[in-house]
Structure 1
Amino acid sequence: MIDISGFETGLFSALRRLQQAGEVHAKRLARFGGLTPIQLLILRVLANESQLTASALSRRVSLSAATLSGLLERMEEAGLLMRQRDDQDRRRQWLLLSDAGRNLLAQAPPLLPPTLRAAFASLPEWEQHSLTAALLRTAELCGELE
């Protein structure tokens, strides 16, 4: 087994910097309609799909069913989404973006901070893919957080 202690400080520092940047941007998002980044992500995923079940959505946004359930209830109460029973299988509920959710999403700021978006967009496509793959793999290595 390889000793990773030489990488540990650098990895932790980089992860912490990402966390801090995420927290700062989350505060900016909260000033916009009280949305959290995960709520904005949920709205975006629902906008890109004609209909999704809660279990499919939980996989798409990397949240446990219990955590997602509470978020969905609050978002439904705020009128941002609706639940609709399946015509063929009454046990299944589809999640749909409401008109209010669609309107809010149309005005919402980007999920990522503007400086990150601009810097990332200026990179060559191969580097964008490489960074995305490295971040996804790092998240995978962290294991289940929910």
Structure 2
Amino acid sequence: MLDNNVSCESDIAVFEQSLFQAMRRLQQAGEVHAKRMARHGGLTPMQLLILEVLAGEKRLTASALSGRVSLTAATLSGLLDRLEERGLLQRQRDDQDRRRQWLLLSEAGRELLHAAPSLLPPEFRTRFAALPEWERHLLTAALLRAAELCGVE
């Protein structure tokens, strides 16, 4: 059994540098795009994602939103505060249950979202769109699986 584990570790070592370099390149591309996005409307990619999710829903609670955008409640709370301060979202108490608070996209948030750049870098979107549909699905599944392997839900 020990020999099998050693063999498995050495098999993984063959991929380690390539996987790390690919992950680092993705991270760098994300950082560059985030800086571009910040120049447009001062939004971070996570803030834009929050606005996009809210735009697709009539209203959401913060706990439902945190699951949709993969953020902890504490991290999400700070982002929501900043978006509310900018007038991009509104919080509304539930009429039936005053403890529940709904998040809604404001008109200013809708306007900013309409003019905002894509969450994905333009070069990626163009190249991704040129791929056959099966390859787009495969690539998406592989990236989701890689995130899962990293322990990121």
CA–CA distance in structure 2, aligned partners of residues 90 and 73 of structure 1: 19
The residue type paired with residue 91 of structure 2 is R
Aligned partner of 1:124 among 102, 127, 132: 132
- The aligned counterpart of 1:27 is 35
Secondary structure (helix, strand or coil) at the match of 1:110 reads coil
SS at match of 1:90: coil
What does residue 70 of structure 2 align with?
62
The residue aligned with 1:50 is: 58
Which of 103, 108, 113 lines up with 2:111 in the alignment?
A: 103
Amino acid corresponding to residue 126 of structure 2 in structure 1: A
1:68-96 Cα distance to aligned partner (Å, 9 max, x none): 00000011011000011111111111100
Alignment equivalent of 2:23, drawn from 10, 15, 21: 15
Cα distance between partner residues in 1 of 2:139 and 2:152 = 21
* Structure in which a larger fraction of residues adopt helix: 2
Query: 1: CA distance between counterparts of 2:19 and 2:97?
Result: 47
List runs of 5+ in structure 2 lacking aligned partners.
Answer: none
User: When the two structures are superposed, what TM-score results if normalisation uses the length of structure 2?
Assistant: 0.92
Count of aligned positions: 145
Look at both structures and tell me which one has the larger radius of gyration over its CA atoms. Answer: 2
The CA deviation at 1:144 is 4.0
> SS of the residue aligned with 1:35?
coil
Show structure 1 runs of 5+ residues with no match.
Answer: none
Give the superposed CA RMSD: 1.0
SS at structure 2 position matched to 1:63: coil
Which residue number in structure 2 is paired with residue 83 of structure 1? Answer: 91
What TM-score does the superposition give when structure 1 sets the normalisation length?
A: 0.96
Taking the aligned partners of 1:57 and 1:9, their CA distance within structure 2 comes to 35
- Give the ranges of 4+ consecutive aligned residues of structure 1 lying more than 6 Å apart after TM superposition: none
